[in-house]
Amino acid sequence: MDPTGATAGKAVQDAYQDGNVLAGPLSEIFAVDLTAAVSRCAHCGSTGPVAALRVYGHAPSLVARCPHCGEVVLRIVRAPGNAWLDMRGTVALAVPLDTD
* Chain residues that interact with Zn ion, rule: CB under 5 A: 41, 43-44, 66, 68-69
Instruction: Tell me whether residue 69 or residue 77 sits nearer to Zn ion (CB atom).
Output: 69
Decide whether 52 or 69 has the Cβ nearer to Zn ion: 69
Residue 71 Cβ vs Zn ion, minimum distance, rounded to whole Å: 5
Closer residue to Zn ion in complex, CB, 52/85 = 52
Using the Cα atoms of residue 59, residue 61, residue 66 and residue 70 in order, give the sign of their dihedral: negative
- Indicate the helix (H) or strand (E) that contains 30: none
Task: Give bridge partners of residue 59 from the DSSP assignment.
Answer: none
Q: How far is the CB of 73 from Zn ion (least distance, A)?
A: 7
Residue 50: count of CB within 10 angstroms of its CB: 25
- Distance of closest approach, residue 58 Cβ to Zn ion, in angstroms: 23
* Closest CB to Zn ion among residues 78, 87: 87
Q: Tell me how far, at minimum, the Cβ of 94 lies from Zn ion, in Å.
A: 16
**CA-closest candidate to residue 43, choices 53, 28, 51:** 53
SS3 67: coil
The count of residues in the chain is 100
